Structures are given as structure tokens and as C-alpha cells.
Amino acid sequence: MTVAYALDVATSTIFTQIRVLLRWKGSVWKATWIELIIWLIMYFILSVIYRIMLNKWQREVFEKLCTFFDTFSVFIPVTFMLGFYVTIVYNRWSRVFDNVGWIDTSALTIAQYIRGTSERARIIRRNCVRYLIVAQCLVFRDVSPPIRKRFPTLNHLVEAGLLSKEELEEFDSIKSPQSKYWQPIQWLFCLVTQAREEGMIDNYFLYVDLIEKMRDFRTKILNLIIFDMVPIPLVYTQVVNLAVRMYFVLALFGRQFLDEDKNIPGAKFKIDLYFPIMTSLQIIFIIGWHKVSEVMLNPLGEDDEDFETHWIIERNLQVGYAVVDQAYDRCPPIVRDPFWE
Amino acid sequence: MTVAYALDVATSTIFTQIRVLLRWKGSVWKATWIELIIWLIMYFILSVIYRIMLNKWQREVFEKLCTFFDTFSVFIPVTFMLGFYVTIVYNRWSRVFDNVGWIDTSALTIAQYIRGTSERARIIRRNCVRYLIVAQCLVFRDVSPPIRKRFPTLNHLVEAGLLSKEELEEFDSIKSPQSKYWQPIQWLFCLVTQAREEGMIDNYFLYVDLIEKMRDFRTKILNLIIFDMVPIPLVYTQVVNLAVRMYFVLALFGRQFLDEDKNIPGAKFKIDLYFPIMTSLQIIFIIGWHKVSEVMLNPLGEDDEDFETHWIIERNLQVGYAVVDQAYDRCPPIVRDPFWE
Amino acid sequence: MTVAYALDVATSTIFTQIRVLLRWKGSVWKATWIELIIWLIMYFILSVIYRIMLNKWQREVFEKLCTFFDTFSVFIPVTFMLGFYVTIVYNRWSRVFDNVGWIDTSALTIAQYIRGTSERARIIRRNCVRYLIVAQCLVFRDVSPPIRKRFPTLNHLVEAGLLSKEELEEFDSIKSPQSKYWQPIQWLFCLVTQAREEGMIDNYFLYVDLIEKMRDFRTKILNLIIFDMVPIPLVYTQVVNLAVRMYFVLALFGRQFLDEDKNIPGAKFKIDLYFPIMTSLQIIFIIGWHKVSEVMLNPLGEDDEDFETHWIIERNLQVGYAVVDQAYDRCPPIVRDPFWE
Amino acid sequence: MTVAYALDVATSTIFTQIRVLLRWKGSVWKATWIELIIWLIMYFILSVIYRIMLNKWQREVFEKLCTFFDTFSVFIPVTFMLGFYVTIVYNRWSRVFDNVGWIDTSALTIAQYIRGTSERARIIRRNCVRYLIVAQCLVFRDVSPPIRKRFPTLNHLVEAGLLSKEELEEFDSIKSPQSKYWQPIQWLFCLVTQAREEGMIDNYFLYVDLIEKMRDFRTKILNLIIFDMVPIPLVYTQVVNLAVRMYFVLALFGRQFLDEDKNIPGAKFKIDLYFPIMTSLQIIFIIGWHKVSEVMLNPLGEDDEDFETHWIIERNLQVGYAVVDQAYDRCPPIVRDPFWE
Amino acid sequence: MTVAYALDVATSTIFTQIRVLLRWKGSVWKATWIELIIWLIMYFILSVIYRIMLNKWQREVFEKLCTFFDTFSVFIPVTFMLGFYVTIVYNRWSRVFDNVGWIDTSALTIAQYIRGTSERARIIRRNCVRYLIVAQCLVFRDVSPPIRKRFPTLNHLVEAGLLSKEELEEFDSIKSPQSKYWQPIQWLFCLVTQAREEGMIDNYFLYVDLIEKMRDFRTKILNLIIFDMVPIPLVYTQVVNLAVRMYFVLALFGRQFLDEDKNIPGAKFKIDLYFPIMTSLQIIFIIGWHKVSEVMLNPLGEDDEDFETHWIIERNLQVGYAVVDQAYDRCPPIVRDPFWE
């Protein structure tokens, strides 16, 4: 589930920032602590080796190396790359959420256009909702690892009650080398045709509008497949990834405190703090910034910020049935409203 | 309410900037003065300690520390992060405003398509408007703290006259583990069906178009829920937040005036101004810039720049009733216009 | 009126740039000369004071101060802020122009769907156009200062012939605490209903399409109100504004030529040019860049680059009447075209 | 015509770049060579003056001046401005191309909805296409210099066979102080009404859809007029333009090789290359980058990258007639396809 | 085929980055190794020449030259340009993918609206699908080199079974100097008209909606042609290309280790590593970043990241026939669903 903190920031006061900083789930602390500790351990090992184990000549070489890496680390344009890369990843991420697929519009339209209180009408309305969700499940299985785990085969959909045995047989009876996300939609359209023929839909006008709304739902979830097929080019992800990591590998050397600092040409002034506090901060900022893009690269995965696909399907099922069945044609009495003059 | 200053900048003259700078509500002054004062107090405490209380050896350590922090504060890419982050937050903020939900289009369409001057027709038209606003209230309760405060329970909607007792009972009679933003919309569609059956809507054509416009309103306010569920990833907000604050924590040391400046390797030349004027300016610019993103993070909260959700509901109610009831079917006489030749 | 220079840049040659640079209206020269002169005057006053009136000790203090401001002016990230801010302002500005409201589509649709050559049909068509423009005027009065000046009260609309007395009375007869931009639209819809009932519109199909096109016009001009209510957050405008001005206030000191430059620690080498040519250039570039955002902040104001709202209304009136009345149902004879084989 | 090089870059190999770099038409070489040569000539003149004609004191002044300009040229944020400016210009440019107006959709719809093989039906279909193109020509005349040149008056449209004499008379008979881009569209709608009345269009449904598609075409080409009226604000174009030129004017001095370089305070180390190779490269990069925006500022002009408006009209005419006339109702026999099982 | 790595990044852990970095296909390693090796070879040749073959005077010249290039390589704003350029290229690339053309919506609509189980109905439905794909092939032939290779002439379409001989004859019988992407669409519309006349389509309502969906498919694939005609301006591509290459050509000199470094004015401190490790890293980052834009410039080419156009056509054919023929009107029995209460 995405980490909601909107209420924390509803008003911008002096404490807003502190409240936001103290969160753990989905936080920069959780995202960076492992890498920070690994880096610190390696830094201290190097530091100890330099201070204790090296002889004078070795120290001189080490010092030159450190100064060299320190000087030339500006060659790696880390912040610049991150600024542009994170913006691109963010835009893609928010487009994914526009296409996640909420049943509400479809369900309300089904309840409004397919009329009738007979059992047959109820069955058709309920199945319409169910088929939409089955299509969504088929798509989610291919783009969202948690749904894949829950429904490794289509039989698991039958077990979960989303599909009947007969439907699975019918599904399997059409052979195709391609994914058949379209098949539940075709069943759905079949149901609509049936409903029209049996007079539950008054008019071809309503019929076309209903098909249109269902198609919208389908187009949206299909977009998820396309987003999945066309990720940010791998080379971009790699370049940014590599630049960030390599920057800190070089910093292992470049940020060491060196005894004879002042005498080494090109070396910057440092003081012997034992703990590399500035670089630790930098790791939190830069790695943290990079993590923003990592958690957003596959928005339907299992990161803290990822969308809980389980919950979406569960919700769609509950809301869908409630709209087309429980609440069908229920309405408060039509009387004067409280403001009536 | 957002702070309107459009009239101040209608024309760009030499005084435009001054007028804009002198505002207080929603201003950079209001946004930064607390943090500036806190920072200054801490700065002066440190300054006094350094100048009076430390012995020579302690001063030397302190001086080295300050110089160290001053040198390496460039590691924190504050402006770069802010540039990209604020742009992302701004774009999200302006998308929220596109989805706030104005009743005008729906109300005009209701008045145009549901015809009749009988009391029944009036009741139906008025209730259509009311149900749209009830749906908006349900949504606003979950995304906007001020509306939450005004309507902590649904009973408060009854008290405010937005909902009748019977309607609340009907609302509660459908049990669902999910939020039921859709229920007033279903009542609304029910009313439209009723109106169609009683002949107030001439034609299925008008009927579908009417449903469509109502659906638009619903989709827009529902988007607010989705925006609320999917905020800017927490880690991004934290990284920027932390970078800005930490930058100024380090500046507490790095910007101190040091007696022996010239003799400290790596130290920049400074003059003893007692008051850190440049850093104060920097705090106003950087913290101010950051505040831009803070006030925009939850656009329906209670900041000066936030949208006044109370007013939106009030306005929708007034305009909605005026359009579908008071002004229904009123029209000036159809006569030649003043330009007639 | 926006400054058109498209023809100057139709072809990119060596003279293109010069032609573009030599313009005055809406130019960087016109935008910056006042501030440049004010700055120069203050600069020279300071320069004269330093060179003539200060004693040695005062000069030393002054020199330290100047060097101090010169060194630390890098704290103000002027170009960075401007880059991001101007882009945001530009995008908002061009969205405003997408919503300015041209009558053409509505007028063509009115002429096409409301048929008949009787005086009554003519009156209805003409009034449809007029009511659209009245709605536009009501909106413009609230967002565009020049239109506000022209029509300070609604009586001025009557005088201009846009509204008849009876219509103004009808307008005033509906009391509402909110703006009534919707009222002329409701009259308009009333006219359309009338036209349908009198058989001037053949079909409900055309009727719905006509209403739709009118609604488009209305939605667009209403967006102008929303843009006006939701400006760029004031704090952003202030931060950028302040950063730019403060940068040049500090430059008053930092850019002074100092006699003993070489002996002042931290001072950059300068030569005594008397005239601060580089800083003048910088003022033109930076203030000029900032002016881009200032002229775009309220696109319906009275700057050179602002859209001439007068002209829009005038044009809509002329084109609207021409389309629905003069040119109604006129058509060249239907004969073979020149390419006929 | 825009310069197509898509095939050159279809695959990214080591030679891709070289192939792309060796092009001349629309290339950076063609764009920058004149300015480079002018700059070099002025540079060498200055260089010769300095080396040969100046006495010692003059040389000293000259050297100080050069060093001064070299040091402070960083005040001009050329790359930063260009980055943001070019992005804005590019986005506007690509929006223009989305609105250029292709006849295909309209023509296919005309052929599909206006049925009949009589000469009258043919005439109507052909004239529909022609009137769309006439409207396009009227628009192009006002935004595209090459079309303006080809059709300086409307009589030239008659000569080109796009308009008949009777049509021009009809066009001129409606007087209006505003441009009459809408008039051919109104004739077009008239034809459609005629076709409907004579039974060539089966149904009001098709009629509305046909009008809609024609309106799309009209809206698109009208957008070109609006883009033309609302260019990038002149002051932005000027600021960028001036910054780039002024940067290189200063470089004329700042990049001179100076004899006593090492002794001039603040001077950077240089070697006497006679030819200013680095600055030449910089001119190619910076001026070249700036040229990107220049060629895109008016996309319908006569630059190499501009769209060939002639060809668009020619193509629309050929494709339009082919679709609605030659290929009307032609269809291969409806038989089993090759994959039939 | 685009390189899918979404599953690798589904969850952001410490190993995510390593997994992503170790890929080869579409990777930064594959993209940069050739240029890195060429650069290294040239670097070592220069290095050997300098160390072994030059006499003292030549060495001094060489050293000055290297220092000169090293100092002034900052004139080339490589990272800045890349940031903006790659963003523009990326946005264009992702717009191309929105227009690739999936048959699903069209096929489902065809199956839903063209009813009947007669062979004639089947033929019509199948041909509808086929003609859409033929249109797509015609477009792909002109924008995608691999499809061009597969279908160099239209006869190859006949061989592949996509076109019958009669259809090719019919296609050739309309002469036009312009590409005839519209012709298969016109056949398609012809089929629809036929189906309507023979009563397979119940209603003009469905007819218009069906035409609309087919038009959508057509508009999308046509956009590919327009994207192909209007690439990123050549001069932009060249400037970026040249800047990147030239930067590393200069680095061949500037990054050489020089013996007397410390005595050369302006030279930076370096240590003699023999292997230019920092520059190699920089090549990987900068060239890699640039490669991002290169592989995206023509998204339908043959790079690793390009979309496999073959597969799209293959898939459309399989899915299209399955939807309109095999699965036509098949539907599981309409019975109570598993959740029925």
C-alpha cells in the first residue's frame, strides 16, 4: 500500500516536518540504512588498514590514491542525472495509477442500464461485475508479483470463487499463443447482448453507452500490460544506478582522513573526525533520492510505496456486488428536501 | 482559501514587485519567520559560547569543526533537489484543483433535461443537486481535515440539512467494508430513472447525456480520493525535507565568524558582522522555496494557500438550487437585440 | 495584445536575431531599463561616497563589506530558481490561452442546427450568440482589469448594447450570494429549448450536440475564473522575486571597484572601469528573465504580452453575428469544381 | 520540409553518430558556419591589433580588459537559459505539428456517409474536400510565409483552381472586419445540409458525426492561428538571444591569448594556439543549441526543419479527391481470406 | 523487443541494483564497450608516444596542450545538454508507444456489432480484422526497417497471406502520387456498409460507434507516420552528439598523466595510474546516458530497446482472428455465481 501521510502535512507548521521525518514505513531511513552500514563498515576497515597496517611508502601511495579519487569524483554527475531520471520515473509511476482500474463507473452503469428484478437479471448483473474483475486478475497476474503469487494458475481463480469450473473450461477451449485478457470481456459483451435481447436494456442507446464504459475499464487495465512491456530503457536505469554506486565506492577512498593532508598536492583540508559524518549524510540524501526511483520503477510490486493490488481486487468485488445487487434500485423516498421553501 | 494576488500583478511595473512582496497572508515572511528566529537564537548561543566560554584548545577544535562543515556543505544538493521536487509537487497540486468538483455543468444540465413545473419535478431536480453535493461531502470528509472537523459523523450532515433522516437510514442499511461514495450517486441515478419513467425527460438521448454529465462530476471528486491515496512517495518528501534542514543545522557551525580565520587552512574569508545576514537571506530563500512544496502537498488542508472546501460546498449548494429551482425556465422575452439592423 | 514576431523569425538567418533584438514593444529593453537606471544611480552614489567621502578606516570597512557580499552572493541560487519558476509560469500562461473562448465553433453550430429564415429564427440565433458573449463579459469583468474598467457595472453592458434593459432586470431578479456566470447560459439553453419546441431544430440529436458545443464554450471561460482563483502560490512568486532583487541589492556593494583589491583577502581581481558593464548586462539578463514570468502571471492584464480582452469580445460579436445572421444559409452554387475530369 | 534522419538512427551502432554528423541540410554546420566565421575574423583582427599595433601601455590596458571579461563571463548563465528555453520552444513546436491538418479522416468520413453515385453526389463530395482545403489555405496564408508568397491574394486561389470565380464573389460579399476562416466551413456545412435533404445521408446520426469530424479539422487548423497570435513572449526570446550573442562578444576579448598571462592577476593559464579552437567548439555547441530554438520558433516558415506547407496542401488535395471520388465505393470482392480454415 | 526488467525491480532491496546491473541485453555495458575500447587504445597510443618517443621540447608542447584541453573542457556543457535532450527524446519515445496500434478494441467491437453465424458474416468479420492489419503493415513498412525488410514490396504481403491477389490488383488500380495508407481502411468501411445493408448491424447507432473505433485504430497508426516525418530537429541531435564525442576527444589529451605536472601552470594534480580509471567511468556514464537517447530516437528500429514490430503484427493477427471468429458468440452458461447468497 502506498504510504499515506497527507494528514500529517494538511497544515504546514513547524512540526509538520518533524512528524514527516519520524515515520519509518516507506521512509528514507528504512530505504538507506543497510547501504549506509555496509559503506561505513568498509570505510572503517580501510581506515584501520591505513592507520595501522601500512608502512610509509604504502601510506604515500594510499594517500595519493585517495586524493586522486577525491579530486575527480566531480566527473560523476550524480545529482544532475538523478534530477532528470527521478522526474521521468515519477511521471510514469503516476500514469500507472491512472490506469489501475476502479469498478465504480462500470458497476453504476450496469445497475442503471440493465433493469429488472428477476433472478436472471440479477445473475447477469452480478456476472458482468465478476467478469470485469476476472479480466483485471488476468492482467494483474502478469504485472504484479503479489497477485502472481496468490493466483499462480487459473485454477486458483476457481478456488477463490472468481471463476466457475465451466468458465475455466470455456476459457481453455480457445487456444491462442497470445495472452487472452480479452476473453472475459467477450463473455461480458455476450451477457450484455443477451440482456438487450431479453429486453432488460431498453434501448440501443443505453446499450452502446454501457459497452463504452466497459471498454474504458478494459482499456485502462490493458494499459498496465503495455506499461509493463515498455519500461524505462534499461540503459538509463543502469547508468543512474551505476553512477550512484560508483560515486560512493570512490568515496570510500576519497573521504578518508589523511595524516599529511596539507602536504599532499590537491588534497582538500579535512579534520580527523573518525566518523565520516558528511559522507553519511550524503549517502542518505543521494541513495535516498535514488531509492525514490527504485520504489517507483514497478509500482505494482511489493515495496512500501507500491499499490496493494490484493486490496484493489477485493474492493472492486465488494463494491461491484454492492452496487449492482444489494443496492439495486434502492432509493430513499422522494420528498421535499430540508431546504425547501 | 488560496491567496489571490492576480490583480496586483495585472500589469508588470516597478511597483508590482513591491506590492507583491509586502503581503503577509500566504507570504514567504509568514512561512519562514519562525524557523529563521529559531535558527538565529541557536546561532547566537553558539557564537557566545565560542567567543566567551571556550578556552584556547576548545576554540581551535571548534574552529576546525566550523571550517569543516563550511567546506563540505556543498555535498548537500539543496537547490537542485528543490527545483525538481517543487515542480513535481506543483503539477500534482494543480491537477487536484482540476478535480475539485463544480456543480454548474451538472445543475444546468439537470434544469435543461428534467422538465416540468409540478412540485414533483421540482423535488426531483432539487434532490439531484443535493445528492451530488452529499457525494462531494462524503469525499471531502476523507481528504480535507476542515470538512472532517465540521462533519465528524454522518449525523452532522443530517443536522446541516444536507441529508434527511430517512436517507441516512437508507444509507446505513447497505453494509459494506468499503467507503460508500457511490451510494448517493446511485440514488441520483434512481431519481433520473424515475424522472424518465414519469415523462419528465423527453428522450433516451437526453437521459444518457444527463447521466454522463453526472458521472463526470462523480469521476472528478473520486479522483480526489485517489490523489489522496497516492501521495508523492514519502521517501522523496523526506529526502528533500532532511536535506534542507540538515543544510542549515550544519550552517549553524559553518557560518560562524572565527577569529583566526586567515590562519585556518580551508577557511573562507569572512568579516565579523555579528549578524549572519547572508545566511538569514539564504534561509528565507531556501526554506521559503521548500515551503512552496509544503503548502501544496495537501491542497485541501488548512494552509493559507489551500482551497477552502467549506466554501466550495456552500457555493455548490447555493448555485445548484438557484439554477435548478429559482431560475428554472426563466428567460427574458425573445425580442430583437440592440444591434438588429 | 501579445507581441507577434512570428514573421520576423519565419526563417532563421543571421539577421533574424538582430531584427528580434531591435524591437521595443514587449522587449527586454522596455522591461528592464527603469530598474537598470535606478540600480546604476545607486551604484554611482555608493561609488562616489567610497572614492571621495570616506576616510581610511571607513574605506577599509567598506572594502571588507563589499568583498564579503561579493563572496557570498553565490548563496542566492537566482538562475536555478528562475529556470524552474519561469517554466511553471509559462505552462500556466499557455493553458489560460487555451481557454480564452472563441465563438466560432458555437456560432457555426447554431447556424447549422437552428434552421429557418423567419424573423423569430433570426432573433433566436442572434440572441444565442449574444448570450454567449454576455457570459464571457461577466467572466472577463472578474479576471481582466481592462474589461473591468470598461464595464464597471452591468449597466455599462446595457449601454454597450450587449444586454437589453429587460434582460438586466431579469438578471437582477435572481438573488444569489455567488457570481451568476451561469445565468446567461441558462437563458441560452432556454432559447434552444424554445427553438426545439417550435421545430427549428429537427431532432433531439442535433439538440444535444448543440447544447454540448455551447457547454464547451462555457466550460472554457469558466476555467478562466478557476485559474484566477488558483494562482501560482504567493510564496513561490515572493521567493523568486525577493531572490532576484536581493541579489542585485548585494551587487551594489559586491560589484564596486576597490582600490586595494589585491590586498583584500578573498577579493576577486577587477579593473576600474567606472561603468559596471558586466553587472549591467547581468541585470538585463536576470531581471529580463524574471520579467518573462511577471508579464505572464496575469495573462489577461494590460502588459504588452497580455491578451487584448477587448478585442476578443469585439471579434466574437462581429464573427458571431456574421456567421449566424449575414452568412446564414448562403452558399455558392453547387457546380463541378475546376479539377473535375 | 523537416529533415528526416530516422532511418539513419534506426539502429544505434558506432557509425550511427558519424552518419548523423555528416549531414548538411538542417545541420549544425549549416546553422553555425556564418556566425563562426564572422567571430573568427573579428577575433583575428583584435589579435593582430594586440600583437602588432599596440604600445606597451595600451597592451596593459587591453590585457586587463581581456582578463576582466574572461573572469566575469560566468555571470551570463547561457547553458542554463538554453536548457529551459529550448524545452519550452520544442514543446510548442510539437504541438503545432499536432494541428497541421490532415484531410484523411474527414475525407474517409465524407466518402462513407454521403452516399450515391450520381454526378450531384460526386460534386458534393468533391466540393466538401475542396472547401476544407480552402479553409486550410486561408489559415496557412496568415501563418506560413511560403504560402503567403504563393497566394498573395485570393485571386491566386482562383487561378490555382482551388476556388471558382463565383465562390470568390460569394466570399467577398460578406463584409467583416475580421478574418473569415469560417466561411468555407459554412459553405461546407451548407453542402452537408443539402446532402441530408436530398437523402444522400441516411440518418441524422451520420449527419452529426460527419459535422463533428469536419469540425475537428477546422478546430485544428484554427489552432495554428492561435499559436501564431500567442508566441513565446518576446522578452524571453530576446533575453536568450542577447545572452548568447553577448557571451561571444565578450569572448572576443576574454579568449585572446595574452603574452604576460602569468603576471596578470586573475588570468587563467592559456597557451598560444593562434587558432581559438576551444572557443570555436563552444560557438558550435552553444550557437548550435540556440539555433534549435530559432528554427523551431516559427515551424511553418522556410527553415530546413520547417514543415513544407505547400506539400501539405498538395497532398490533402490529391488524397482527398482520391478518397471521395476515385476510390469511392470500390472494394475487393468479399471472399474467404487466405487464412480461412 | 524492449528489454523487460520489471520483475527484477518489483521490490527494491539491496540486490535489486546488482541484478539490474548484471544484465547484458540492452545494457550500458553492451552500449558503451566498443567506444570505450577505441578510446582506450587511442589513449594508450598517445601515452606511449609521450613517454617514449618525444624529445624534451616536444614533451613540453604536448604537456601544455594537454593542460590547455584539460582546463577548458568545462566549456562543453555535456551533462546539462544531456539532461534536457534525453528528457525530450524520452517523451517522444513514450508517445510513439501510445500509438503502436493494438487490434483488441477494434476486434471486440467488430465481434459485438456485426452479428450472424453465416459464412458471409464470418468472412466480413475476418476481413475487417485483416484490413486493419494490412493498413498497419503499410504504415510499418515506412517507419520500421525490420518490417521493410520483411515486406520489401506489396507482393510480399500477398505471399504472407495478408493480402489476396485481387486485393493487390484493386490496390494498384488507384493511382496516387501519395502513400495510400487509407485504402485498406476504405475497403474496411465498405465492408461495414455492406454488413449494415445486409442487416448484420442492427442499428445506425452501432454502425457509427463501430466506424469510430476503427477510425481510432487508423488515427493511431497514422500518428506513427507523422512522428516519423517530424523527428527531433537534426541540429539538436547533432549538437548533443558532437558535444559528447568532442568532449572525449579532448579528454584523450587532457586526461594524460604528465611527468612535470606540478610545474605546469594550470595543471591539476594527478597520479600516474597508467590506466585512466576515472575517465573510463566517465565514458560509461556519459556515453551510456547519451545511448539512452540514441536507442530511443527511432523506437521502431532494431535496437534492443526497440519495439518488435514483427511480433505486434503477428499478435494482432492471432488475437484478431480469435476474437472475431473462434470465440465469436461463445459464452459460458449464465448461472448463479459462486458468491451468490
Find residues 24-53 of chain C whose CB sits inside 8 Å of chain D. Answer: 25-28, 31
What H or E segment, with its residue span, contains residue D190? helix D182-197
Lowest-pLDDT range of B141-145, B235-239, B323-327, C292-296: C292-296
Chain B: closest CA distance from residue C63 (Å): 11
Chain E residues within 8 A of A167 when measuring between CB atoms: 332
pLDDT at residue A24, rounded to an integer:
82
Predicted local confidence at residue C126, as pLDDT: 95
State mean pLDDT over D320-330.
91
Cα–Cα separations (whole angstroms), residue B276 to B40, C69, C241, C250, E118 = 8, 12, 21, 14, 89
Residue among C254, C278, C284, C274 nearest C37 (CA): C284
Neighbours of D221 (CB within 10 A): 21
Instruction: Tell me which of A42, A229, A239, A263 to substitute to probe the interface with E (most E C-beta atoms closer than 10 Å).
Output: A239
- Indicate left, alpha or beta for D59 from its phi (over 0: left) and psi (-120 to 50: alpha): alpha
Give the per-residue pLDDT at D307.
76
Residue among D189, D237, D302 whose CB faces C112 most closely: D189
Distance from CA of A12 to the nearest CA of E (A): 30
* D 248-267 near C (Cβ less than 8 A): 265-266
In terms of Cα–Cα distance, which of C89, C83, C128 is closest to C109?
A: C128
Q: Is A178 on the interface with E (CB under 8 A)?
A: yes
From chain E residues 83-142, the ones with a CB under 8 A of any chain A CB are 83-84, 86-87, 90, 94, 97, 102, 104-105, 107-109, 111-112
Question: Chain E residues with CB inside 8 Å of A172's CB?
Answer: none
> Coil, strand or helix: which one is B255?
coil
CA distance B182 to chain C (A): 25
Chains that touch C (3 or more CB pairs under 8 A): B, D
Q: How far is B217 from chain C (nearest CA, A)?
A: 13
Contact A295 B83 (CB under 8 A): no
Non-local CB neighbours of B277 within 8 Å, separated by 6+ positions = none
Element (H, E) at E62: helix E56-72
For residue B76, give the nearest of A94, A285, A296 by CB distance. A285
CA dihedral A244, A250, A252, A255 (to 10 degrees): -100
Tally A–E CB contacts below 8 A: 238
The nearest CA of chain A is from the CA of E213 a distance in Å of 10
Rounded to an integer, the average pLDDT of B260-269 is 57
| Residue type (1 letter), B221 | I
**pLDDT above 80 (res B13):** no
Q: How far is D108 from chain C (nearest CA, A)?
A: 19
Are residues E166 and D2, on separate chains, in Cβ contact within 8 Å? Answer: no
| E65, E298, E317: residue with CB nearest D10 | E298
What does the alpha-carbon distance between residue B303 and residue B294 come to, in Å, rounded to a whole number? Answer: 9
Contact C99, C315 (CB under 8 A): no
d(CA D144, CA D150): 10
Task: Tell me how close the Cα of A169 comes to any Cα of chain B, in angstroms.
Answer: 32
Reply yes or no on whether the pLDDT at B306 is more than 80: no
Torsion of CA D56, D60, D62, D66, to 10 degrees: 150
Nearest CA in chain C to D300: C10
Contacts of E263 in chain D (CB under 8 A): none
Whether the Cβ atoms of residue B210 and residue B192 lie closer than 8 Å to each other? yes
**Is-contact E305 A234, C-beta < 8 A?**
yes
* Interchain pair A331, B80: CB under 8 A: no
C228:B6 CB<8 A: yes
Q: Which of C35, C292, C296, C303 to mutate to test the interface with D (most CBs of D within 10 A)?
A: C292
Check CB contact under 8 Å for B79 and C77.
yes
Which residues of E fall within a CB distance of 8 Å from A217? Answer: none
Give B203-251 pLDDT, tens digit per residue: 899 999 999 999 999 999 999 998 888 888 888 988 998 899 899 998 8
Answer whether A289 sits within 8 Å of B80, measured CB to CB.
no
Which subunits have 3 or more CB–CB pairs within 8 Å of chain E?
A: A, D
Query: In whole angstroms, what is the distance from residue A321 CA to residue A325 CA?
Result: 5
- pLDDT of amino acid E216: 94
Residue pair C253/B32 in contact by the 8 Å Cβ criterion: no
CA angle C19, C22, C25 (to 5 degrees): 115
C282/D194 touch (CB, cutoff 8 Å), yes or no = no
Residue numbers in E near A170 (CB within 8 A): 330-332
DSSP per-residue codes, A134-164: HHHHHHHHHH-HHHHHH-SSHHHHHHTTSS-
Surface of A (278-337) touching E: CB under 8 A: 291, 294-295, 297-298, 300-303, 317, 321
Chains that touch B (3 or more CB pairs under 8 A): A, C
Nearest residue on chain B to C75, alpha-carbon basis: B282
Predicted pLDDT of residue A170: 92
Judging contacts by C-beta atoms under 8 Å, the chain C residues touching residue B106 are none
Which among E24, E337, E341 is the top mutation candidate for probing chain A, defined by the most A β-carbons within 10 Å of its own β-carbon? E337
Q: Report how far residue B98's alpha carbon sits from residue E180's, in angstroms, rounded to the nearest whole number.
A: 41
Say how many CB pairs under 8 Å bridge D and E. 237
Interface size, chain A vs chain B, as Cβ–Cβ contacts under 8 Å: 236
Task: Say yes or no: B7 contacts chain C, CB-CB below 8 A.
Answer: yes
Q: Distance between CA atoms of D111 and E193, rounded to whole angstroms?
A: 11
In the prediction, which pLDDT does B71 show?
80
Q: Which residues of chain A have pLDDT under 50?
A: none
Q: What is the nearest CA distance from B115 to chain C, expressed in angstroms?
A: 10
pLDDT (0 to 100) of residue A113: 94
Q: What is the pLDDT of residue B214?
A: 95
Tell me what pLDDT residue D318 has.
94
Which cell numbers in the block locate residue B117? 413545473
| E220 touching chain D per CB within 8 A | no
C109: chain D residues, CB-CB within 8 Å: 211, 215
Q: For helices A78-98 and A234-254, give the axis angle rounded to 10 degrees.
A: 140
Q: List chain E residues with CB under 8 Å of D117.
A: none
CB contact under 8 A, C319 and D176: yes
pLDDT above 70 (res D81):
yes
- A204 and E205 in contact by Cβ < 8 A? yes
pLDDT at position E72, please? 81
In chain C (341 residues long), the average pLDDT of successive 10-residue segments reads: 66 72 83 91 92 86 84 83 92 88 94 93 95 95 89 92 91 90 94 93 92 94 88 88 90 80 58 81 90 83 77 93 91 88 75
pLDDT recorded at residue E190: 93
Residue ranges of chain E with per-residue pLDDT less than 50: none
Task: Name which of B14, B80, B335 is nearest C34 (Cβ-Cβ).
Answer: B14
Picking from C130, C180, C235, the nearest residue to B28 by CB comes out as C235
The share of chain B scoring above pLDDT 70, in percent, equals: 92
